[in-house]
Chain A
Amino acid sequence: DIQMTQSPSTLSASVGDRVTITCRASQSIGDWLAWYQQKPGKAPKLLIYKASSLESGVPSRFSGSGSGTEFTLTISSLQPDDFATYYCQQYNSYSWTFGQGTNVEVK
């Protein structure tokens, strides 16, 4: 099974900061990588699919990059609504795996 490792687990940041979260796959997954945002008590929300495609309605300050085994989610200028937990997720041969999550908290 493919394992996904996110870093950092917790990130302390301020409004306006540029934030980068990294996700590493235990083997190459091409660009089959998605990113989600989750707030407490709520379902996850899709932000990015196919590593770099922005989901409809998601602000352009969110961007994704990478391929193979290393991927990044970048928030260009952190907004108050962006404090949340972020998960990466891979897809390979009818198996899906999430990273352990990155909590973006107020510095």
Chain B
Amino acid sequence: QVQLVESGGGVVQPGGSLRLSCAASGFTFSSYGMHWVRQAPGKGLEWLTFIWSDARNSYYVDSVKGRFTISRDNSKNTLYLQMNSLRAEDTAVYYCAKTLPATGAIDFWGQGTLVTVSS
């Protein structure tokens, strides 16, 4: 069965950096586009970024453009999110998620990893 397991969350000071990882299994990772989506405490879902299956292209929401970078290693079945210049408002649970091709929808989500930006 499809599994997405995020790791790398934790507490970081404002201005700091963190790299999240998402280990994928149960499907052919290299065939699917992947997303990162976050949810601030008590708030709604915010889509952050998407990467093509072959990593040739990636897309970002304006609020993280230039600070966050999505990448993937298809040989390791792993998705990454490099987060730089972190702000208090980046505090959230970060989910990696698998796209359902040709639908614009997301059909599987990880359990999420909490990132707290605080001094």
Contacts and interface: CB of A to CB of B under 8 A. Distances in A.
A22 to B, nearest CB: 16
B50 A96 contact: yes
Chain A: interface residue count, which band? 20 to 34
Contact of A34 (B35, B50, B106): B106
Interface in B77-95: 95
B111 interface: yes
Contact of B109 (A32, A43, A91, A96): A43
B44 A100 contact: yes
Given A1-B62, A43-B109, A43-B112, A50 B103 contact: yes
B104 to A, nearest CB: 3
Interface residues of B, number: 21
A97 B47 contact: yes
A60 B107 CA distance: 17
Nearest to A90: B104
B59 A98 contact: no
A89 B105 contact: yes
B35 A96 contact: yes
B44 A50 contact: no
A97 B107 CA distance: 15
Contacts of B35: 96
A91 B111 CA distance: 23
Which residue, of B46, B105, B110, B111, has the highest number of chain A Cβ atoms within 10 A?
A: B105
Interface in B40-60: 44-47, 50, 57, 59
A87 B44 contact: yes
27 contacts: A32-B104, A33-B104, A34-B105, A38-B45, A43-B109, A43-B112, A44-B95, A44-B109, A45-B109, A49-B104, A49-B105, A50-B103, A87-B44, A90-B104, A91-B103, A92-B104, A95-B59, A95-B61, A96-B35, A96-B50, A96-B104, A97-B47, A98-B45, A98-B46, A98-B47, A99-B44, A100-B44
Interface of A: 1, 32-34, 36, 38, 43-46, 49-50, 53, 55, 87, 89-92, 94-101
